[in-house]
A and B are shown apart, each in its own frame.
Chain A
Amino acid sequence: MNDGVRAAFRVRRGGFALDVAFKAPARGITALHGPSGSGKTSILRALAGLDRLDGRCTVAGEVWQDDDVFRPPHRRAVGYIFQEPSLFAHLSVRDNLIFGMPRRERRAQGAVFDETVERLGITGLLDRDPRHLSGGERQRVAIGRALLSRPRLMLMDEPLAALDPDAKDRILELIEELPRDFAVPVVYVGHDMREIERIAHHIVLVDKGRILAEGPLGRLQADPTLPLSAARDAAVAVDATVAGHDAAWGLLSLAVGEVRLLVPGEARPLGAAQRLRIAASDVSISLLPPVDSSILNSVRVAVAAAEPAGPAETLLVLDLLDAPGQRLLARISRRSFAELDLRPGRAVHAQIKGVALAG
């Protein structure tokens, strides 16, 4: 039985108190998100057993820690990626990669080794000295080294922090595909919501040593009681599937429930998963279906909640009527909110000015 990660930790250290309990699903990427100093890294280190806090931790049905048990880190099947790529300076890239493999496999590196190295795009680096690699290359090797130790859980502590934007982008693509390509769940610590919006499926919000909320990414993003929706660049991640491509206009058609969204983009296989990012500032409201508009995407929504956002604006939470369960955020002026009389429950039309392909 694989029920993912269940963990609860408590600690009090000087002025810092941590008291958390959360779950991470057995599939996909769970993001631990919160401001610096909120305790994210402490939680991750406790999951790996690097620090011993009071509490319990079960991974894939195995008890790693409870009142009677504490498995030391080397007896936990984790892969841990630190902020700075911590390759062993005295070993070549190849010897770094095989470090965590079982002894008998280290000598004759088999198909798994070749495939992993190939997948990570580091075949050409094998005989190099890790000190002469770029930041992005080092982090790739670190990820490969962790994967080759056959982890049942990947723990990543802001693995992009030390990278330039270009390298960030490519490593993010790689991380996004880890759960599928290597059948391993990932717990990802990050404070940059842009990263998390691209890759996470599940999110645990941490603040001042406590869990604010946990759940599917889109649901928490659209929860007006949580700080995510109050951010200036608040957005909702929408998981869609490719439903067609209009080559004449260069538009990709994406399905979310019964809704079809048109997004500029290249053709992709039908049915492929595609994540979209819809920012609250890109959604506007009209009472009637828009006619003669340049905006491609208009969807039927019902107002689910409305929260004041600053002196002049209101944040609306919208239920997509043709995609049950899917919500959007819209930030509109307080004046429009009053003039359109947008009571909760009212059905209106949401015009989406910008839909970004994420991931």
Chain B
Amino acid sequence: MGMSEDLWSPVRLTLELAALTTLVLFIVGTPLAWWLAGTRARWKEAVAAIVALPLVLPPTVIGFYLLVALGPSGPGGWIAGLWGGRTLAFSFTGLLIGSVVYSLPFVVQPLRNAFEAVGERPLEVAATLRASPFEAFRRVALPLARRGFLTAGVLGFAHTIGEFGVVLMIGGNIPGETKVLSTAIYDYVETQRWQEANLLAAGMVLFAFAAILLVGLSDGAARRARA
């Protein structure tokens, strides 16, 4: 394994993980955010608080519980048993599950805000124009909330790329399987390979800047369009 492959493997793995995580988060987070935006259920804020927990908990705490859940005696172990495995911890699938949990609020929050900004009126109008609730969602709520999806996608993707504590707890830093960018940088620093660490770290800074700029520009465009 040459030095470039050594560098590229974590980058590729990280992008793959972030893309898959974002995809899963859209699938899980959209109905959840839609429900949170529209429901009058009394326990909705309790659900919202659970979703928001990763924002305030130390990643090691989340990582610890994920490790238990994914391990041989947790549900993860049972699922792994379906194809003859023993545990989901220290695997790419485990990392994906962990990332989904950890980045959930970064997708659900912007989506919920976007759906709440759409409001009830456009959906009522759609209903009086023969659109079923699903059709109203697809033809009115989704397109009106599209900027929320952009924000949610960028934040979910970027946050997954930046995670470290959870990865360290449940990933195990296996090259090609669970060794992602953030842990690779940690390794390089440990082994005093400053040049490689600097390369990856600088790349992350540029990427984070670009992501935040993209969200900012899109919000600005939205504000100008409304004005």
Chain A residues near B (Cβ < 8 Å) = 48-50, 72-75, 78-80, 82, 86, 88-90, 99-100, 131, 145-146, 149
Structural contact, B121 and A82, CB atoms closer than 8 A: yes
Known contacts A82-B121, A86-B121; A48/B143 CB under 8 A: no
A74, A145, A146: most-surrounded residue (chain B CB, <10 A): A74
Which residue from chain A places its CB closest to the CB of B120 in the assembled complex? A50
Which residue from chain A places its CB closest to the CB of B131 in the assembled complex? A74
Bound-complex Cα distance A88 to B140 (A) = 8
Which residue from chain B places its CB closest to the CB of A75 in the assembled complex? B130
Structural contact, A50 and B127, CB atoms closer than 8 A: yes
Structural contact, A146 and B122, CB atoms closer than 8 A: no
Instruction: Enumerate chain B residues within 8 angstroms of A88, measured Cβ to Cβ.
Output: 122, 125-126, 140, 144
Bound-complex Cα distance A99 to B144 (A) = 15
Closest CB pairs A-B (n = 10): A100-B129, A80-B128, A73-B127, A90-B143, A86-B125, A74-B127, A149-B129, A74-B130, A74-B132, A99-B129
Which residue from chain A places its CB closest to the CB of B136 in the assembled complex? A74
CB proximity to A under 8 Å, residues B121-167: 121-122, 124-133, 135-136, 139-140, 143-144, 146
Instruction: Enumerate chain B residues within 8 angstroms of A48, measured Cβ to Cβ.
Output: 128
Structural contact, B128 and A78, CB atoms closer than 8 A: yes
Structural contact, A100 and B130, CB atoms closer than 8 A: yes
Known contacts A74-B130, A74-B131, A100-B130; A82/B125 CB under 8 A: yes
Instruction: Enumerate chain B residues within 8 angstroms of A131, measured Cβ to Cβ.
Output: 225
Q: Chain B binding site: helix, strand, loop or mixed by DSSP?
A: helix
CB proximity to A under 8 Å, residues B57-116: none
Instruction: Enumerate chain B residues within 8 angstroms of A145, measured Cβ to Cβ.
Output: 129
Bound-complex Cα distance A90 to B114 (A) = 14
Which residue from chain A places its CB closest to the CB of B119 in the assembled complex? A86
Structural contact, A149 and B125, CB atoms closer than 8 A: no
Chosen A-B contacts, 27 in total, with CB atoms closer than 8 Å, are: A49-B127, A72-B133, A73-B124, A73-B127, A73-B128, A74-B127, A74-B128, A74-B132, A74-B135, A75-B130, A79-B128, A80-B124, A80-B125, A82-B124, A88-B122, A88-B125, A88-B126, A88-B144, A89-B144, A99-B126, A99-B131, A99-B139, A100-B128, A100-B130, A145-B129, A146-B129, A149-B129
Contact count band on B: 20 to 34
A90, A100, A149: most-surrounded residue (chain B CB, <10 A): A90
Instruction: Enumerate chain A residues within 8 angstroms of B131, measured Cβ to Cβ.
Output: 74, 99-100
Bound-complex Cα distance A138 to B133 (A) = 24
Bound-complex Cα distance A88 to B125 (A) = 9
B145 to chain A, nearest CB (A): 10
Instruction: Enumerate chain A residues within 8 angstroms of B140, measured Cβ to Cβ.
Output: 88, 90
Structural contact, A50 and B128, CB atoms closer than 8 A: yes
Instruction: Enumerate chain B residues within 8 angstroms of A79, measured Cβ to Cβ.
Output: 128
Instruction: Enumerate chain A residues within 8 angstroms of B126, measured Cβ to Cβ.
Output: 74, 88, 99
Bound-complex Cα distance A12 to B132 (A) = 28
Instruction: Enumerate chain B residues within 8 angstroms of A99, measured Cβ to Cβ.
Output: 126, 129, 131, 139
Which residue from chain A places its CB closest to the CB of B132 in the assembled complex? A74
Structural contact, A149 and B122, CB atoms closer than 8 A: no
A37 to chain B, nearest CB (A): 20
Bound-complex Cα distance A26 to B225 (A) = 43
Which residue from chain B places its CB closest to the CB of A81 in the assembled complex? B128
Bound-complex Cα distance A131 to B132 (A) = 25
Instruction: Enumerate chain B residues within 8 angstroms of A78, measured Cβ to Cβ.
Output: 128
Q: What 17 new A-B contacts, CB under 8 Å, besides A88-B126, A90-B140?
A: A72-B127, A74-B126, A74-B133, A74-B136, A75-B130, A78-B128, A80-B125, A80-B128, A82-B121, A82-B124, A88-B125, A88-B144, A99-B129, A99-B139, A100-B128, A131-B225, A145-B129
Bound-complex Cα distance A73 to B131 (A) = 9
B127, B130, B139: most-surrounded residue (chain A CB, <10 A): B130
Bound-complex Cα distance A146 to B127 (A) = 11
Which residue from chain A places its CB closest to the CB of B135 in the assembled complex? A74
